[in-house]
Chain A
Amino acid sequence: MAAPDPKRPTYTAEAIPSDVKNGLFLGNPALDNLMSCMIAMGAEVWATKRRLHVMEAVMAQKGIEADRDRFVDLTLGPLANEAYRPVGSNFPKR
């Protein structure tokens, strides 16, 4: 995270921090932390799932046949090459 440039005015004043973050609700700080982690993790998992939904929608709209064919041609197309000759015997000597 870039440090703020002190030359750029921000029109801010010091805030009085809330103490809510220090509240212990579940009897054990580890449990409180785990609950916070679970909800944050939920947001991250959903972000990933939503990205997959977007990709699926884009693929459904645009189609991926052309890209699939390009992929297969690039990776497996060389299997069709029949012009090989051993380089140690009658391969042109240059």
Chain B
Amino acid sequence: MIGRRKFFGVAAASVAVAHTVHGELAQAADAVARSTSPGQAADAMDKLARVAPRGMQGRHVRLGTLDLESQQDFTMAFRRMQAAQIRKASMAALDRLLEAEGLDPATPLTKDQMRELVMKDPAINIASKTWIANQQVTWKTLYDHYHGNYDRYMSELESADKAGPGALVLAPQMAIPDYLRHEIHIQPGGYVGDPFAGYVYQYGTNSFYVGNRGHNEQDEIHRAAAARMPLPKDGKVKRILDMGCGIGQFTAALKQRFPDAEVWGVDVGGPMVRYAHMRASKLGIGANFAQKLAEDTGFPDGHFDIVTSYIMHHEVTAAGTLAIIDEARRVTRSGGVYYPLDFNTGGTQMPAHQMYGRWWDHRWNNEVWSFEYHSVPFNEEIGKRGFSEVKGAAPLLQGFGVRHFVRSA
């Protein structure tokens, strides 16, 4: 008989022992090492095979079951096909609608005009429905797996809470503003409502990256952005702050680039920073994480040499964005760098193809505040708040806005 455990269990166990040192898994691995008879060893191996992850590929922890990995593999492939074919068909439908209405595609439209134009078109609705259904399968399969193995994953988080090399600060009594409690990307529970939000986000966004910017299982995209982070003129980088850090991929990448610096990632989502800390700890990266609001970090004035954020601002209100820029000014030292990485802002009216994508993302991907973000003349507002813009700077990532600012004296 060919048993799955026979082929995968032993290999997974050896990888797990090498990479993971926490809780239930460590106990199971220890029991294997201490076994003194074949019977004991068999029992211990059986227990280890039940709790061990399925190994790692670089820093990518393989999903807990082959079925779940395959479901994610399917939804990733569907996402790519949807973008290349179904979405393309919906764009052709949009062109037909524009022609029927006698509208020049270059004419700027508002999101309300776009909604009225496209809401009843069958090809556009098929594109919307298929994308949403696929996104729901992505989230639901992940959500069900983590909640179906509640004790295993909660134990993993708990056993890592006090692990080093970095610190974790959680704030269970924190009042979370309503505007930050939405289910962004229709992820169940969003970033604040699901104890396993970090796990679910990590694997759900892996397929987003493959479909949009390339593989990121090894944090390739975050590390590429961190590698381009400009330094203050004096070259001194002792402390770095990553605002709205999510699961800490950018924070960890910054710590790896600046190993001697004290690096902090802050995020409103307790489950997100908890997972960020666990992941960084397991990778041996000494970044620190705290559950805090980006607009109220509590750090001393002028504390940081570099203040940054990775695609956070389009998830907050216009007022939130301005308050966050004010906080960045407060905590950035004179001559320090402020680089909030996010999409180019384009206002609230734009040509039809662009507006279709933006409205669609706002409405069906539940990017609740994206139009508020686009309503803010971002660089101009930063320039009004104690920063001077470095002209001719390169983007940290192609296709994103250039936001290289220096804190004025």
Contacts and interface: CB of A to CB of B under 8 A. Distances in A.
Contacts of B181: 13-16
Interface residues of B, number: 54
Contact of A51 (B67, B129, B270, B274): B67
Contact of A40 (B129, B133, B291): B133
Contacts, number: 131
24 contacts: A2-B150, A2-B151, A4-B195, A8-B154, A10-B154, A12-B189, A12-B192, A12-B195, A13-B181, A13-B270, A16-B178, A18-B366, A20-B364, A21-B132, A23-B132, A25-B126, A26-B129, A39-B130, A39-B137, A43-B75, A43-B137, A50-B69, A50-B73, A51-B70
A11 B270 CA distance: 5
B301 interface: no
Contacts of B364: 20, 23
Interface stretch (B140-148, B231-239, B328-336, B348-356): B140-148
Interface of A: 1-2, 4-5, 8-18, 20-21, 23, 25-26, 32, 35-36, 38-40, 42-44, 46-47, 50-51, 54-55, 58-59, 62, 64, 67
B271 A12 contact: yes
A18 B129 contact: no
A59 B6 CA distance: 13
A47 B67 contact: yes
Interface in B166-208: 170, 172, 176, 178, 181-183, 186, 189-190, 192-195, 197
A10 B271 contact: yes
Contacts of A4: 150, 154, 195
A43 B71 contact: yes
Interface of B: 1-2, 7, 66-67, 69-71, 73-75, 77-78, 122, 125-126, 128-130, 132-134, 136-137, 141, 144, 147-148, 150-151, 154, 158, 170, 172, 176, 178, 181-183, 186, 189-190, 192-195, 197, 270-271, 274, 291, 363-364, 366
Contacts of B148: 1-2
A26 B134 CA distance: 16
Q: Which of B66, B69, B129, B192 has the most chain A CB within a 10 Å cutoff?
A: B129
Given A14-B181, A23-B128, A42-B78, A9 B2 contact: no
A4 B147 CA distance: 9
B182 A43 contact: no
